[in-house]
């Protein structure tokens, strides 16, 4: 039995682009959705990597719910016909104000057992600033509909560091999630990426400063942990057992196949991706020909930088066994960050504290040394 | 040999950017063109070569033939002079080789500080001054006013001064005619013992050192044994000759009044000091020519390779530069902060900058330079005398009886509206006011005596920025004076970083400490922990700043599509870290070393 892997489907459609988003998405017609689905199905059937075993499937975007239940079913059917789907976790990102009970019922029957939706903030004003068209009420309704359809594993996205956002706004938003009793929350610090509308509008001045942002982050971590949603990654919190298995796969170097424009893969030791070009994808006779090589993957740098994103941290016995890393030297390098409260050591494992998580870019670079 | 009456030895003096080099180029072109009538073919070759190289007198001197309007042929020896105060001594030796000086003045800017300084220097050497007004093609040119200035300020007749444009080539011949008419032919007797002044030299990998000389008395031929009167070194002459524009032209002999070169398989320029007198070993002159002195560095600083592994390359670079620059000195030193490097001595700030730039450009070495220091004199309680040019060697203050620091006599030429600002600046720099001379209604010359240590950091920059670039500045060393000194240390995260230590005047320690701490706070990026920056004198902290700890630098989303990007980011961070110097746990960017030097 081959080792289980992840399957990622990038659905590059959105009705409207949000001001902060730099994921690849464009508006599409029903015709585009169907054509896109044809192409993904064909790729699954023609997979040059042979027949795989997919433990998890993740429909990300974009707005995967736009495809409609029928297309999602087609993709899962195609995947199952050529490969093995264990059905352990099949997640779909959905837009809370364009879904209904029938949709959730349909996708659940097709195998989807986890839904991730963007709440972002519980304040209509902040949602407006973000350019989101849903209301907090839409989210409540969508969560109830999903549950009604039998999908209990629900995740909500929330955002920090928003222009004008206060600590009270954040705590109110988190309280909203707690009251909905969702078992998983992803909480992202807004990063204004180059070329996004936020970048052009220059809203940075309206965002909380660095010190305030870090304060907000710690308060969030405390609040969620207090309510039983434990931090298992820099931006992810869940009740025990509800961690995203698919995403954990990324951080533990589980291989994954990503299909669709702008999707990345790590398969058989190699990283590759498909171009951010929907028209080319739709027009391609063989979409596999759009593959761009990113070179080998899975080295110690990746292993360490990804493990250090996790609460469980980096086990250096494991690192020594897999990569021949000098464990003592690595632990020695980490010592000076322990009294600073950024790193904790237990036995042969190192992990970052929440303060360390917030500084993970420079911290991981220094832990890795030269 | 040439009869004296038809030799003219002269130099060109000017303020920087007034067109000295351009005029020299034009003179070269013009005189070559004359000889072209005699040897058309060769000329073309030469001209092509010159064009390829860009016509500039690379050599410090060149011999030219000039067919004058009176129908007679002249031998011109044009001697270039470095235009900057750091090389004042070299300038004075070049002037000593001449009988006349062409004074170039910009037709719109008029007389500047270096114009005056160089003119005075030329007059001191009894040179005939040939004023020339250049850049008459500029729209802002006012040659009449400038001629008046020359007459009023310098006191030489200038109404007949050629009005030229070296750039467009207008009126260049008039300059040469003036040289014929005004510059006296050289004196000197062929039958006296050889007495020749060294005014420059450079290292040639085939011939060894090529020594530029002006023969004052006597004659010199190949095969003779010569003696350098100051250093005592003796050599057998291999070749003598004139300096052509593009090549050396060997001659049978050089005799009194002539300017030329000699080669004698000399291995290092240190044996051919500028200002020394060359004489014959078998028939030496009774007295050397006056004015020789050994040039001592005035400014010292540490130079370190950014990449410690390139220390041998840095040594190599300094050795190569020293081949042609006897005034550059260096010896190995180590710094706890910067590792292995060299303590280098320079004639002045410009010299230091030139050397730094050449190391970086010609040898592709990245270097860190520590704060420049002057040479202080200390008398210890035990009576021992010390010369200190490196803060690291500064003794325990309790053992210091007295201290002295070098002062310079400075002259600042400025439009009158900036007099107040300049006085303020000089006051801040512990200057002692001497006097103000009004050159005319709009301009004045201020005289100050300033501690050299106050002008080696950023005085030029401060002067330029406070006078919108209008003031010009010149200085010369005028001796040592008693001073109250102290050593200022910088501590990062409670550890002294030796590379930042400075010797300062006690009264200036506090403001400098404050500015240094502020500047370091600006240049040291926030790091994973808080970094106290302290400035201390004798163990007492007198200024403090804090670089707050970094609070947030995180990639919030890192999923399947972000891993490659994140890995690249990590590698970029590693690259960035290489540009930092690690002091204990603190990372200091290289810019910080430069930043603390420019505090104004």
- Transcribe B95-112 into DSSP letters: HHT-SEEEEEEETTTB--
Q: Which residue has the higher pLDDT, B244 or A171?
A: A171
Which of A61, A361, A363 has the highest number of chain B CBs within 10 A, making it the mutation to test binding with B? A361
Domain B195-280 CATH superfamily: Translation factors (2.40.30.10)
Q: Of all residues in chain B, what percent carry a pLDDT higher than 90?
A: 52
Q: Which of B527, B553, B560 is facing A256, going by the closest CB pair?
A: B560
Asked whether the predicted pLDDT for residue B246 surpasses 80, the reply is: no
**CATH code for the domain defined by B376-483:** 3.30.70.240
Least-confidence region, from B294-298, B376-380, B404-408, B570-574? B294-298
Q: Which residue has the higher pLDDT, A15 or B21?
A: A15
Asked whether the predicted pLDDT for residue B48 surpasses 80, the reply is: no
Q: Which of A191, A247, A365 is facing B559, going by the closest CB pair?
A: A247
The pLDDT score that the predictor gives to residue A310 is 97
Q: Do residues A310 and A251 touch, judged by C-beta distance below 8 A?
A: yes
CATH number of the domain at B4-182, out of 3.30.365.10, 3.40.50.300, 3.40.50.720, 3.40.50.920?
A: 3.40.50.300
The pLDDT score that the predictor gives to residue B9 is 95
**Residues paired with residue A189 on neighbouring β-strands, in sequence order:** A160
Long-range own/partner contacts, residues A282-290 (CB < 8 A, 24 or more apart): A282/A32, A282/A35, A282/A36, A282/A39, A284/A39, A286/A46, A287/A39, A287/A42, A287/A43, A287/A259, A288/A43, A288/A46, A288/A48, A290/A261
- The tokens of B255 are what? 């005799």
**Tokens 């040469």, located at residue:** B176
- CB pair distance less than 8 Å for B556 and A213: no
Average pLDDT over residues B172-194: 93
The residue of chain A with its CA nearest to that of B529 is A340
Asked whether the predicted pLDDT for residue B44 surpasses 70, the reply is: no
Asked whether the predicted pLDDT for residue B85 surpasses 80, the reply is: no
DSSP state of A239: S
Q: Of all residues in chain B, what percent carry a pLDDT higher than 70?
A: 94
Angle at B180 between CA B175 and CA B185, to 5 degrees: 135
B411-458 residue pLDDT tens: 898 889 999 999 999 999 999 999 999 987 888 999 999 999 888 877
Write out residues 168-197 of A within 8 Å (CB-CB) of B: 188-189, 191
Whether A364 contacts chain B with CB within 8 A: yes
Q: Which residues of B touch A363 (CB under 8 A)?
A: 528
Write out residues 249-288 of B within 8 Å (CB-CB) of A: none
- The tokens of B293 are what? 């002195």
Distance from CA of A231 to the nearest CA of B (A): 13
Q: Which of A34, A31, A24, A28 is nearest to A60 (CA)?
A: A24
Q: How confident is the model at residue B506 (pLDDT cuts 50, 70, 90)?
A: very high
Angle at A296 between CA A291 and CA A301, to 5 degrees: 130
Exposed, middle or buried: residue B600 (CB in 10 Å: 0-12, 13-18, 19+)? middle
Give the three-state DSSP class for B538.
Answer: coil
ipTM of the shown complex: 0.93
Work out whether strand A153-160 and strand A114-120 pair parallel, antiparallel, or are unpaired: parallel
- Residue ranges with strand state E in chain A: 5-11, 53-61, 84-94, 114-120, 153-160, 184-189, 230-233, 236-238, 256-259, 264-267, 270-274, 291-296, 314-315, 343-346, 349-352
Average pLDDT over residues B170-198: 93
- Report the b/e string of A42-71 with b at 16+ CB within 10 A: bbbeebeeeebebbbbbbbbbbbbbbbbeb
Average pLDDT over residues A343-348: 96
Least-confidence region, from A87-96, A106-115, B50-59? B50-59
Q: How confident is the model at residue B362 (pLDDT cuts 50, 70, 90)?
A: confident
Which of A25, A365, A367, A368 has the highest number of chain B CBs within 10 A, making it the mutation to test binding with B? A365
Whether B468 contacts chain A with CB within 8 A: no
Asked whether the predicted pLDDT for residue B43 surpasses 50, the reply is: no
Q: Of all residues in chain A, what percent carry a pLDDT higher than 90?
A: 88
Asked whether the predicted pLDDT for residue B53 surpasses 50, the reply is: no
pTM to 2 decimals?
0.71
Q: How confident is the model at residue A1 (pLDDT cuts 50, 70, 90)?
A: low
Whether B309 contacts chain A with CB within 8 A: no
DSSP state of B181: H
Domain residue extents for chain A: 5-250, 314-368
Average pLDDT over residues A224-239: 98
The pLDDT score that the predictor gives to residue B33 is 45
Average pLDDT over residues B192-213: 90
- CB pair distance less than 8 Å for A358 and B551: yes
Whether A339 contacts chain B with CB within 8 A: no
Fold designation for B299-370: Alpha-Beta Plaits (3.30.70)
- CB pair distance less than 8 Å for B563 and A210: no
DSSP A262-284: T-EEEETTEEEEE-S-HHHHHH-
Q: Which of A256, A305, A358 is facing B554, going by the closest CB pair?
A: A358
**Class level of CATH domain B486-595:** alpha beta
- Angstrom distance (rounded) from CA A236 to CA A217: 12
Whether B564 contacts chain A with CB within 8 A: yes
Angle at B8 between CA B215 and CA B172, to 5 degrees: 145
Q: Which of B529, B560, B573 is facing A264, going by the closest CB pair?
A: B560
- Report the b/e string of B419-448 with b at 16+ CB within 10 A: bebbbebbeebbbeeeebeebeeebbbbbb
Give Rg (Cα) of chain B. Answer: 28
B131-164 residue pLDDT tens: 999 999 999 999 999 999 899 888 888 888 999 9
Average pLDDT over residues B55-61: 47
Distance from CA of A190 to the nearest CA of B (A): 8
Q: Which residue has the higher pLDDT, B202 or B491?
A: B491
Do the domains B376-483 and B4-182 match in fold? no
- Angstrom distance (rounded) from CA B473 to CA B312: 38
A161-203 residue pLDDT tens: 999 999 999 999 999 999 999 999 999 999 888 888 888 877 8
B278-333 residue pLDDT tens: 999 999 999 999 877 777 788 899 999 988 899 999 999 998 888 777 788 899 99
Domain A5-250 has CATH 3.20.20.70: yes
Write out residues 226-265 of A within 8 Å (CB-CB) of B: 234-235, 247, 250-251, 256, 258, 262-265
Domain residue extents for chain B: 4-182, 195-280, 299-370, 376-483, 486-595
Asked whether the predicted pLDDT for residue B37 surpasses 50, the reply is: no
Asked whether the predicted pLDDT for residue A305 surpasses 60, the reply is: yes
Q: Which of A235, A258, A337 is facing B528, going by the closest CB pair?
A: A337
- Element (DSSP H or E) covering residue B508: helix B506-523
Q: Do residues A9 and A90 touch, judged by C-beta distance below 8 A?
A: no
- Angstrom distance (rounded) from CA A359 to CA A353: 10
B99-127 residue pLDDT tens: 999 999 999 988 887 788 788 888 888 99
Q: Which of A294, A305, A309 is facing B570, going by the closest CB pair?
A: A305
DSSP B63-131: EEEEE-TTS-EEEEEEE----SGGGHHHHHHHHHT-SEEEEEEETTTB--HHHHHHHHHHHHTTPEEEE
């Amino acid at each position: 039995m081959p080792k289980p892997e992840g399957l990622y489907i990038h659905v590059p459609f959105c009705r409207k682009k949000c001001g902060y988003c730099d994921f690849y998405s464009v508006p599409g017609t029903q015709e585009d959705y169907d054509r896109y689905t044809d192409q993904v199905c064909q790729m699954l059937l023609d997979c040059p990597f042979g027949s795989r075993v997919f433990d998890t499937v993740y429909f990300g975007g974009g707005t995967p719910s736009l495809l409609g239940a029928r297309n999602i079913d087609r993709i899962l059917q195609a995947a199952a016909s050529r490969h093995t789907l264990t059905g352990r976790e099949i997640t779909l990102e959905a837009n809370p104000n364009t879904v209904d009970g029938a949709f959730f019922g349909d996708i659940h029957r097709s195998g989807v057992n986890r839904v991730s939706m963007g709440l972002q903030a519980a304040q209509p004003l902040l949602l407006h600033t973000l350019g989101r068209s849903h209301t907090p009420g839409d989210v409540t309704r969508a969560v109830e509909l999903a549950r009604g359809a039998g999908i209990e594993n629900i995740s909500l996205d929330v955002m920090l560091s928003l222009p004008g956002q206060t600590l009270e706004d954040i705590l109110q938003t988190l309280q909203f999630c707690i009251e909905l009793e969702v078992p998983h929350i992803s909480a992202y610090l807004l990063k204004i990426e180059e070329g996004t509308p936020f970048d052009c509008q220059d809203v940075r001045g309206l965002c909380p400063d660095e010190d305030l942002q870090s304060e907000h982050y710690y308060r969030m971590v405390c609040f969620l942990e207090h309510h039983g949603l434990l931090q298992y990654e820099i931006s992810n919190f869940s009740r025990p057992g509800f961690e995203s298995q698919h995403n954990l796969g990324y951080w533990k170097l589980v291989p994954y196949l990503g299909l669709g424009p702008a999707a990345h893969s790590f398969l058989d030791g190699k990283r590759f991706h498909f171009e951010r070009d929907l028209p080319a994808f739709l027009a391609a006779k063989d979409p596999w020909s759009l593959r761009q090589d990113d070179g080998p993957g899975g080295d110690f740098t990746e292993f360490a930088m990804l493990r250090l994103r996790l609460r469980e941290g980096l086990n250096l016995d494991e690192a020594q066994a897999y990569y021949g890393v000098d464990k003592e030297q690595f632990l020695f390098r980490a010592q000076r960050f322990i009294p600073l409260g950024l790193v904790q050591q237990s036995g042969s494992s190192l992990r970052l504290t929440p303060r360390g998580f917030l500084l993970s870019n420079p911290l991981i670079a220094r832990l890795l040394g030269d | 040999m040439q009869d004296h009456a038809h030799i003219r030895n002269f130099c060109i003096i000017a303020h920087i950017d007034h067109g000295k080099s351009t005029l020299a180029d034009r003179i070269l072109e013009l005189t070559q063109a004359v000889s072209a009538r005699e040897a058309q073919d060769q000329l073309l070759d030469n001209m092509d070569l010159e064009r390829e190289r860009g016509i500039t007198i690379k050599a410090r001197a060149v011999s030219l033939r000039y067919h004058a309007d009176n129908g007679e042929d002249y031998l011109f020896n044009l001697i270039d002079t470095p235009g900057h105060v750091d090389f004042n001594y070299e300038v004075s030796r070049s002037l000593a080789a001449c009988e006349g000086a062409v004074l170039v003045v910009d037709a719109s800017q008029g007389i500047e500080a270096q114009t005056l300084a160089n003119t005075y220097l030329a007059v001191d050497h009894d040179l005939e001054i040939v004023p020339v007004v250049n850049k008459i093609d500029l729209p802002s040119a006012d040659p009449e006013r400038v001629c008046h200035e020359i007459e009023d300020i310098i006191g030489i007749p200038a109404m007949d001064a050629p009005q030229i444009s070296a750039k467009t080539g207008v009126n260049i011949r008039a300059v040469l005619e003036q040289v014929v008419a005004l510059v006296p032919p050289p004196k000197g007797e062929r039958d006296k013992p050889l007495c020749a002044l060294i005014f420059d030299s450079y290292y040639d990998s085939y011939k060894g050192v090529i020594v530029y000389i002006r023969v004052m008395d006597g004659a010199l031929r190949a095969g003779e044994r010569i003696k350098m009167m100051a250093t005592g070194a003796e050599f057998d002459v291999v070749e003598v000759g004139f300096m052509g524009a593009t090549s050396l032209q060997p001659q049978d002999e050089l005799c009194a009044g002539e300017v030329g070169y000699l080669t004698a398989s000399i291995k290092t320029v240190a044996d051919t000091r500028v200002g020394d007198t060359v004489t014959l070993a078998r028939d030496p002159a009774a007295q050397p020519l006056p004015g020789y002195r050994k040039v001592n560095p005035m400014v010292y600083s540490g130079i370190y390779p950014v990449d410690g592994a390139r220390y041998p390359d840095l040594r190599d670079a300094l050795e190569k530069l020293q081949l042609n620059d006897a005034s550059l000195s260096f010896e190995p030193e180590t710094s706890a902060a910067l590792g292995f490097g060299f303590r280098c001595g320079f004639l002045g700030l410009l010299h230091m900058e030139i050397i730094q730039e050449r190391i970086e450009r010609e040898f592709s070495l990245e270097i860190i330079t520590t704060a420049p220091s002057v040479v202080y004199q200390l008398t210890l309680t035990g009576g021992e005398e010390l010369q200190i040019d490196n803060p690291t060697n500064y003794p325990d203050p309790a053992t210091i009886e007295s201290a002295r620091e070098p002062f310079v006599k400075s002259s600042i030429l400025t439009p009158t509206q900036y007099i107040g600002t300049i006085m303020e600046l000089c006051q801040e720099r512990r200057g002692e006011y001497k006097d103000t001379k009004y050159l005319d209604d709009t301009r004045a010359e201020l005289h100050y005596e300033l501690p050299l240590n106050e002008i080696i950091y950023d005085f030029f920059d401060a002067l330029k920025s406070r006078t919108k670039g209008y003031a010009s500045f010149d200085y010369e060393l005028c001796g040592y004076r008693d001073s109250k000194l102290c050593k200022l240390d910088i501590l990062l995260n409670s550890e002294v970083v030796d590379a930042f230590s400075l010797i300062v005047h006690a009264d200036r320690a506090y403001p400098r400490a404050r500015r240094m701490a502020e500047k370091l706070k600006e240049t040291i990026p926030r790091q994973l922990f808080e970094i106290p920056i302290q400035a201390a004198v004798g163990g007492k902290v007198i200024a403090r700043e804090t670089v707050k700890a970094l609070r947030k630098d995180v990639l919030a989303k890192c999923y399947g599509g972000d891993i490659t990007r994140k890995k690249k980011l990590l590698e970029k961070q590693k690259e960035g870290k290489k540009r930092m110097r690690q002091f204990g746990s603190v990372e200091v960017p290289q810019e910080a070393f430069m930043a603390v030097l420019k505090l104004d």
